[in-house]
Chain A
Amino acid sequence: MLKKIFTPEINGYLISNLVAFAIIGVNKYLIVDTHTNVGGTFVFSEFVIIPMLMGIIAAWFWRDLDLNGRALSAKSCINACIAMFLSSFFLGEGIICLIIVSPLLLSFTIGGAFLGRAMFRRKNDKVNISIIGLLIAVFIIDSTSEHHYENMVSDTITVNAPPSRVWKNVVAFKRIKEKNKFWLFRIGMPSPVESTVEGYYLGAKRKCIFSNGYTFDEKIVTYDEDHDLTFAVTNQPRDPEIMGHIDILQGQFLLKDNGNGTTTLTGNSWYKLYVFPTWYYDIWAQSITRNVHLRVMEHIKQLSEAK
């Protein structure tokens, strides 16, 4: 009876996901928390080594099924999708996060499965153990290393209004009613809609409100009227959609009088990432931050240019 349920195909899905989540669990609660004090950080290995191991483990269970390339690719996709579904369940990841992570998981799971197929065809246990040992060694080294990554994104637009008209809209602005253009905002990622401030002075508290009601609490740390508004983010929401994996540290608007009735408006944001590898996630972080900037700055432009 059990043999009918736990076929090699099912075992490939089951055991590879079990091993993956067991490693993530141990890593999250033992290694990462005790050694680096960065609990909640997802390291490079969790998105690279684990999917590869999943592929290799699945390939081991599927080695006698004589799968062709199309079938192995398709089954590896299903395996990665099961892992993503389980991530939403056990790790509380939201749909946007899963969309962002899916290219990594799919690619490395498929790659791992083909690597596994090649390994088990050769039937060279020494080589196979060396490869798996190497992957585990990389995982342990990566997990116990300190991970820290901060970056800044800067965007500029020209507003056809003098700095004095732009300034008040920079400090606070009314609700944005324009439809979102950025595809991630359109499929449900929270986008900025309004900014409020308790006063036009240094130290004033500011709020940046997002489309789903989330609020970033901010404090003005530089108030140089018509030139520089810099604010530190003092509190930010934690939710499964991105916000748990990135901290926005500080924001800034710089206004430059072009001397012809126009203003060059520059938006800067500093952020810290808690997901690695940064060569992958920083592309997303920059794109999302840039689109937050542009949504706000285009709104400021519209308000400032209105007669």
Chain B
Amino acid sequence: MFSFVTRYLGFLKSVPTLGLAFDGWLKLWALVTKPAVLDWMDEIEAEVLQWPDTTSVIHKYGVMQFNYKGKEIGHIHSNGLLDMLLNRSVKQTLIQEGRITDHHAFKNTGWISFYMNNADDKEYAIKLLQTGYDRLAAKHSTHYAKPPAYNAILPPYSMQ
């Protein structure tokens, strides 16, 4: 359903409130079919908000968006789909690992998509968001140092 709507009804996304309603519908669907997705989103939000200078806001299309100093790290649709921007070389490395795909709408960019299907995927989503966070933080400050709280679970490819 998500693919159908984004492919054929994507032009409606600029209509105010429709994105919010669509994500509300995805929440309802998740509640009925896979309520754990909603819990994973809460857990991810709790984790990301522990990182310095992060906030969670409602994305312009109604989904949960994470920001670093006002810049978007990524957003999660309520069907468990994480969309975020990485640099292209990191994206290529991760695609070769086989867990992420091109963004469902923006092909040939740094944007990626990742579906969470189980609790392990939730952990991987946090790692991806860490990677995005590091990218933005590194851009923002030349004296950036990773906070130790999440340093331990950073994947080796994230900032090297």
Determine which of B17, B22, B35 lies in contact with A48 in the assembled complex, contact meaning CB atoms within 8 Å.
B17
Name the CB-closest residue of B to A117. Answer: B58
In angstroms, Cα B42 to Cα A292, docked, is: 46
Q: A residues bordering B, Cβ < 8 Å?
A: 48, 52, 68-70, 73-74, 76-77, 103-104, 106-112, 114-115, 118, 279
In angstroms, Cα B31 to Cα A70, docked, is: 7
Chain B contacts for A69, CB-based, 8 A: 27, 38-39, 41-42
B38/A107 in contact, CB under 8 A = no
Chain A contact surface mostly: helix
Name the CB-closest residue of B to A49. Answer: B17
B28/A107 in contact, CB under 8 A = yes
CB distance from B67 to the nearest CB of A (A): 12
When A104-B21, A106-B24 are in contact, do A115 and B58 touch as well, CB less than 8 Å?
yes
In angstroms, Cα B25 to Cα A112, docked, is: 12
CB distance from B154 to the nearest CB of A (A): 26
A110/B58 in contact, CB under 8 A = no
Chain B contacts for A110, CB-based, 8 A: 24-25, 27-28
CB distance from A67 to the nearest CB of B (A): 10
Chain A contacts for B38, CB-based, 8 A: 68-70, 73
In angstroms, Cα B42 to Cα A73, docked, is: 12
User: Which residues of B, 5-55, contact A by the 8 Å Cβ criterion?
Assistant: 12, 17, 20-25, 27-28, 30-31, 35, 38-39, 41-42
CB distance from B145 to the nearest CB of A (A): 29
Name the CB-closest residue of B to A118. Answer: B58
Determine which of B24, B35, B39, B56 lies in contact with A108 in the assembled complex, contact meaning CB atoms within 8 Å.
B24
Identify 30 residue pairs between A and B in the complex whose beta-carbon atoms are under 8 Å apart, listed by A's number: A48-B17, A52-B17, A52-B20, A69-B38, A70-B35, A70-B38, A70-B39, A70-B42, A73-B30, A73-B31, A73-B38, A74-B31, A76-B24, A77-B31, A104-B21, A107-B21, A108-B17, A108-B24, A110-B24, A110-B25, A111-B20, A111-B21, A111-B23, A111-B62, A112-B24, A114-B23, A114-B24, A115-B20, A115-B62, A118-B57
Chain A contacts for B62, CB-based, 8 A: 111, 114-115
User: Which residues of B, 118-134, contact A by the 8 Å Cβ criterion?
Assistant: none
B17/A114 in contact, CB under 8 A = no
In angstroms, Cα B22 to Cα A112, docked, is: 12
B28/A77 in contact, CB under 8 A = yes
Determine which of A52, A74, A106 lies in contact with B25 in the assembled complex, contact meaning CB atoms within 8 Å.
A106
Q: Of residues B23, B38, B39, which shows the largest number of chain A Cβ atoms within 10 Å of its Cβ?
A: B38
CB distance from A257 to the nearest CB of B (A): 38
Number of interface residues of B (CB under 8 A): 21
Name the CB-closest residue of B to A74. Answer: B31
In angstroms, Cα B15 to Cα A108, docked, is: 14
Name the CB-closest residue of B to A102. Answer: B28
Q: A74-B31, A108-B20, A114-B27 are in contact. List 15 more A-B contacts (CB 8 A).
A: A68-B38, A69-B38, A69-B41, A70-B31, A70-B35, A70-B39, A73-B27, A106-B24, A108-B21, A110-B24, A111-B17, A111-B20, A112-B20, A115-B58, A118-B56
Chain A contacts for B42, CB-based, 8 A: 68-70
A107/B25 in contact, CB under 8 A = yes
Chain B contacts for A68, CB-based, 8 A: 38-39, 42
CB distance from A98 to the nearest CB of B (A): 16
CB distance from B84 to the nearest CB of A (A): 19
In angstroms, Cα B57 to Cα A118, docked, is: 7
In angstroms, Cα B35 to Cα A112, docked, is: 19
Name the CB-closest residue of A to B57. Answer: A118
In angstroms, Cα B24 to Cα A104, docked, is: 10
Chain A contacts for B35, CB-based, 8 A: 70
Name the CB-closest residue of A to B30. Answer: A73
In angstroms, Cα B28 to Cα A103, docked, is: 10
When A68-B42, A118-B57, A118-B58 are in contact, do A73 and B28 touch as well, CB less than 8 Å?
yes
In angstroms, Cα B24 to Cα A77, docked, is: 10
